[in-house]
Structure 1
Amino acid sequence: MSATELTRALLNKQLDSAKTQTERNQLGQFATSTALATDILEYARGLLPSNFKIRFLDPAFGTGSFYSALLQRFPLSQIVSAVGYEIDPHYGNEAIKLWGDTPLQLSIADFTQAKPPNSDEALANLLICNPPYVRHHHLTRLEKLRLKRTTEQTSGIKLSGLAGLYCHFLCISDAWMASDALAGWLIPSGFMDVNYGQQVKEYLLNQVTLLRVHRFYPDDVQFEDALVSSAVVWFRKALPPVNHAVEFTYGGSLTAPKVRELVSVEVLRHTVKWTKFGLGYSNRNSNSQQLKLKDTASTSRMPLSSEGRNSEFLPLKLSDLFTIKRGLATGANHFFVLTPEQVSTHQLPLEFLKPILPSPRFLSVDEIEADSVGNPILESKLFLLTCNLPLYEVKAKYPSLWKYLQMGVENGISDRYLCKHRSPWYSQEKRPPSPFLCTYMGRQNTSRGRPFRFILNHSMATATNVYLMLYPKPALEKALLKKPELLRLVWQALNQMDDETLMGEGRVYGGGLHKLEPKELGNAIAEKFLEILPSLSYVANSLSESLL
């Protein structure tokens, strides 16, 4: 580390400490480490000719970690110009002092409102940026409208209103880049999976040549103060060549990744989630997209069409077997989810109480037995309060419940978003008990070693939205009713699903937190179920007909 870089890194820490975490979150100020900035510029050097004359641009400069790495990796004789933008004078003024004797032209201004150069000679041919990580809910309505308009005018991309500020930075910068310019972006990897990232992916596939996407291990957090899973995206400002393939890498560093995989642009265009690629197991999963479904009568392949087509492979997904829903959201668990002691203290009527499962961290078992009335046999017993009667009727017939509800009004529970959009506000959405549940989020580095748990529920307990509830579809439900012993086999099949399969469908956040939404879990290939389904020809046939 050079003396100047050491000075810059210490200066950045001092400037960060002078701000609150909230202030930095609002502007998305999460500095790039020296090691990562150096790795990024080292990789850029390998992509550029040795005599390349650099016109450098960093639209979110901070104190200049990338510029510092640029000066260490390239001689000054190669750097024709260096331009930076920093919106916050708190950092910008100090950066101007620090780099005053170098070629840097740093403007303290909002890059998204700046005007790009008029001449081609002034456009950047090397852009490296860690854009501000500002989520859409930190942007005002007027700011969103301005950003959407600017982004569309400069790049032709119509971003979703849910897009974070970093998406706008990436698209707006298109107007600042010369033809064939190289760009490296350090951004959250979430754009590869979420709906608002679709337009960004279309830009990367259609308007530029996407070269590489490198993802870090989820527990290898690149920002000490932001739990976000990061990726480095590389592209050239040029239309992609025919039959172009993109390199996806994972783990380690840019210059020494742990896993490499080439994926064609055509495959990427037809893939919703890009985080499946470059993990080392995506090829295995993609090969298993076509699963054989055999008839019970013999080992011959079951015909899946009355039209004589040889449809011998069937992509069986969990969504073909289950209707999957998030558990219910009460809007105020501390008020609506009650212990037996609280029920007794407030003398709440039993007809408005339903058993509900505790949070996964308080659920020590994966199979929930039930007592004679359907209540779960657990150490931690909880009940959900829900009532559809109008308040005047509650007051007349159930004074103790009315009194408790008045406490909710006085404490602002009735004015919470979910509550005030229900009628009455103390009623709950319908979530009947399901025999199978999956935890909504989890980490690998736990005592269980698995991010997700599948629960077998014999009770009449429902669940909150920290669970996904799996309701068997008619064909499977009929099979379970006819042969109850299959219930355990289905549960075992769920538990035998590869962690990689589930993680590949979901999304991951910094620190290694994995999450699954209902649709994502439904997309998981149900390979293990084929060991059960051959003994259920009517289930198999019902599924095959529905999938044709």
Structure 2
Amino acid sequence: MIVNQTQELARIKLQNQLDAAKTQAEKNKLGQFATPTELAKDILKYCIKFLPKDKIRFLDPAFGTGAFYSALLNLFPISEIDEAIGYEIDSHCGQEASQLWNKTRLKLNIADFTTCIPPEFDAAKANLIICNPPYIRHHHLTKYEKLRLQNLTKKITGIKLSKLAGIYCHFLLLSHGWMAKNCLAAWLIPSGFMDVNYGQQIRDYLLTQVTLLRVHSFDPKDMQFKNVLVSSSVVWFRNKIPSDNHQVEFTYSGSLTKPNKSQFISVKALKNVNKWTNISQLNSKINIERQGVKLSELFTIKRGLATGANDFFILTPEQISKYKLPPEFLTPILPSPRYFSVDEIEADALGNPILERQLFLLSCDISKNEIQFQYPSLWEYLQMGIKKGISNRYLCKHRRLWYQQEYRKSSALVCTYMGRQNRLKKTPFRFILNHSQATATNVYLILYPKFELEDIFNKKPNILRKVWQILNQISLDILISEGRVYGGGLHKLEPRELGNVPADKIIEIIPSFKSFAQ
């Protein structure tokens, strides 16, 4: 039986009704984001050339209303489908889907896939698994759930996932126990597994325990799901140990059937790179296995400080005057980069940044009793913070003194931590030359020079300026390859990722510094 248009329209109508019945917060918590019809079809179409000759034994561990099952029935006659099994944890969705497909061969289990036991014999296992697993981030999993899932995935694959792994990672590894020999699998998952540290175990699995066939990364600006700021990928693999010379196809942007970019990379090369996004996004001229000095060998790179309550601890001169706050507990701090367009910040005689928007950080290291008797105006201001619940916020209540900030000294070089690329802004990252004594919040990465580099900068400001210019000339492709990208084209760099950026050109202008970097 080929599913007709009427039945697919009924499925879409059901999906819309189910979506409308839940708030966005409920969808986020359950990780329920329906697969678009055309995308489901394209994923199944690509499977055709890799499917085994046997009749199809289909499995979808996160069935929903059955977008993939509908695509399966649309592309294959019923005579070629031996069985079709689905699992759906949402009982309401599962019951409605069961009624929708009750005249087909589907066996839909209303159950949590992660609690179900896979078949013992190969003949009873699936030879085609297609899934868009729940996108539930680790924050929504209890400690018990994380431990249970970790133990299960380790039992089935020998791999213990990080506690930071989302549930989609567990779904992917747990399905290994349901795969027959040579089973074909296609997974629609967040692209983050190619970047983040907790994705390393998934990448290892795809390179060692199965034969990875293709990875398609959608353009981050082309979000596949509404109201979800996450970029998506489709991963195809076969349940077979890869050969030594196996090559994986990486495609990027466009559609699955007509990608904008395509290239093949050997499994051996993939094992030597930390991130996979640079393979599909970067210019082929960039060497995947870059050698030489890295920024982390010249700079200690730290995220700026997190106050836990910027609106309370970061103040304007007008607010400082209004509340009569003592200057000895105030430090200049850079405003968010969106408030200024210059990339070089000059300083006044007091070391404050010369910017239209001037801000100061409140931080005090003396006891409450001392404050109460020596600085009554500061005491009154802190009482306002207590009444507003500032002192009970997570970061504040875990400090020795809730009103004392972590220490981040100023630095001559800072980098914006995240941003978007558009017509007006060619790069999402800006390296800023800071001549002031201002510290920075966690929207910046702070570069502290190592060894004698700081002394060189102090004695030879022209060297500092050249280094700053070199940093701003770093290829955007390189920065993006080390960082990560989210839905909507939001780029982000963590300290360690910025530290991996090549620094050979900096060494070239400081020959005497080579020995310190080695």
TM-score by length of 2: 0.96
1:540 equivalenced with 2:487 (yes/no) = no
Q: Does 1:344 align with 2:321?
A: yes
Q: Does 1:373 align with 2:375?
A: no
Deviation digits for residues 114-172 of structure 1 (CA, Å, limit 9, x no counterpart) = 12223322210000000000011101122222212222222222111111111111111
Q: Secondary structure of 1:474's partner?
A: coil
String of CA shifts for 1:329-373, please: whole Å, max 9, x gaps: 111111100011110111000111011011111122211111111
Structure 1 equivalent of residue 203 of structure 2: 201
Contact in 1 for aligned 2:314/2:361 (Cα 8 Å): yes
Residue in structure 1 matching 2:237, options 235, 238, 248: 235
Aligned to 2:181: 179
Structure 1 portions without partners, runs of 5+: 291-314
State the secondary structure of the residue aligned to 2:248. strand
Correspondence 1:400 to 2:372? no
Which residue matches 2:66? 64
SS in 2 for 1:284: coil
Q: 1:276–1:282: 8 Å Cα contact kept in structure 2?
A: no
2:448 is the counterpart of 1:471: yes
1:45 aligned residue: 48
Within a 5 Å distance, the mapping from 1:68-217 to structure 2 comes to 68-217=70-219
Contact 2:282 2:477 in 1 (8 A): no
Distance 1:401 1:369 in 2: 30
Q: Distance in 1 between matches of 2:118 and 2:513?
A: 62
1:484 corresponding residue in structure 2: 461
**Which residue of structure 1 aligns with residue 498 of structure 2?**
521
Question: Does structure 2 conserve the Cα–Cα contact (< 8 Å) formed by 1:191 and 1:197?
Answer: yes
* Pair 1:333-2:310 in alignment: yes
For 2:277, which of 272, 275, 278 is the aligned residue? 275
* 2:244 and 2:267 in contact (8 A); partners too: no
- Residue number in structure 1 paired with 2:8: 5
What letter is aligned with 1:397? Q
SS of 1:393's partner is helix
In the alignment, which residue of structure 2 is the partner of 1:294? none
Distance 1:255 1:381 in 2: 52
Q: Distance in 2 between matches of 1:73 and 1:454?
A: 52
Aligned residue among 22, 34, 45 for 1:19? 22
Q: CA separation in 2, counterparts of 1:102 and 1:524?
A: 55
Q: For residues 254-293 of structure 1, what are the structure 2 equivalents within 5 Å?
A: 254-281=256-283, 283-286=285-288, 289-290=290-291
Contact 1:285 1:501 survives alignment (8 Å): no
What one-letter code is carried by the residue in structure 2 that aligns with 1:398?
Y
Specify the SS of the correspondent of 2:245: coil
Shift of 1:524: 0.8
Pick which of 173-182 and 108-117 moved more. Answer: 108-117
Q: Which residue of 2 aligns with 1:418?
A: 395
Q: How far apart in 1 are the matches of 2:217 and 2:14? A: 28
In terms of mean alpha carbon deviation, does 29-38 or 145-154 score higher?
145-154
Q: Distance in 1 between matches of 2:170 and 2:423?
A: 37
List structure 1 segments (4+ residues) > 4 angstroms apart after TM superposition: none
Q: Which amino acid in 2 is paired with 1:538?
A: S
SS in 2 for 1:14: helix
Deviates more, 1:115-124 or 1:228-237: 115-124
Q: What is aligned with 1:223? A: 225
Question: Residues 377-396 of structure 1: matches in 2 within 5 Å?
Answer: 377-396=354-373
CA–CA distance in structure 2, aligned partners of residues 183 and 53 of structure 1: 15
Do the aligned partners of 1:323 and 1:472 also contact (CA within 8 Å) in 2?
yes
CA contact (8 A) 2:136 2:166 kept: yes
Contact 1:248 1:261 in 2 (8 A): yes
Partner residue in 1 for 2:473: 496
> Structure 2 counterpart of 1:495, which letter?
N
* Aligned mates of 2:63, 2:285 — CA distance in 1: 38
- What amino acid sits opposite 1:447 in the alignment? L
Question: Residue 357 of structure 1: which of 334, 337, 343 is its match?
Answer: 334
CA contact 2:282–2:481 (8 Å) conserved in 1: no
Measure, in 1, the Cα distance between the counterparts of 2:369 and 2:462. 48
Instruction: Give the SS at the match of 1:470.
Output: strand
- What letter is aligned with 2:259? P
Q: Which amino acid aligns with 1:43?
A: Y
* Structure 2 alignment gaps of length 5 or more: none
CA RMSD, 1 decimal: 1.6
Deviation at 1:273, TM superposition (A): 1.3
Alignment correspondent of 1:447: 424
Q: Are 1:328 and 1:465, in contact at CA under 8 Å, matched by a contact in 2?
A: yes
TM-score w.r.t. structure 1 length? 0.91
Q: Distance in 2 between matches of 1:159 and 1:135?
A: 13
Contact 2:60–2:87 (Cα < 8 Å) also in 1: yes
* 1:36 aligned onto 2:34: no
Report the CA distance between 1:254 and its aligned residue.
1.9
2:474 is matched by which residue type in structure 1? M
Q: Percent identity?
A: 62
Residue 263 of structure 1: how far off its partner (Å): 2.0
Q: Note the C-alpha offset of 1:244.
A: 1.9
**Partner amino acid, structure 2, of 1:468:** L
Partner of 2:255: 253
C-alpha distance in structure 1 between counterparts of 2:262 and 2:434, whole Å? 41
3-state DSSP of counterpart to 2:171 = helix
Shift of 1:388: 0.6
Tell me the distance in 1 between the aligned counterparts of 2:458 and 2:227. Answer: 51
Whether the aligned pair in 1 keeps the contact of 2:451 and 2:516 (CA below 8 Å) is no
Paired residue type of 1:11: L
What's the CA shift string for 1:270-320, capped at 9, x where partnerless?
322122112242551436x24xxxxxxxxxxxxxxxxxxxxxxxx022112
Preserved CA contact (<8 Å) 2:345 2:436: yes
Specify the SS of the correspondent of 1:171.
helix
Contact 2:51 2:128 in 1 (8 A): no
Equivalent residues of 2:189, 2:234 under 8 A apart: yes
1:526 is displaced (CA, Å) by 2.7
Task: Say which SS state the counterpart of residue 355 (structure 1) adopts.
Answer: strand
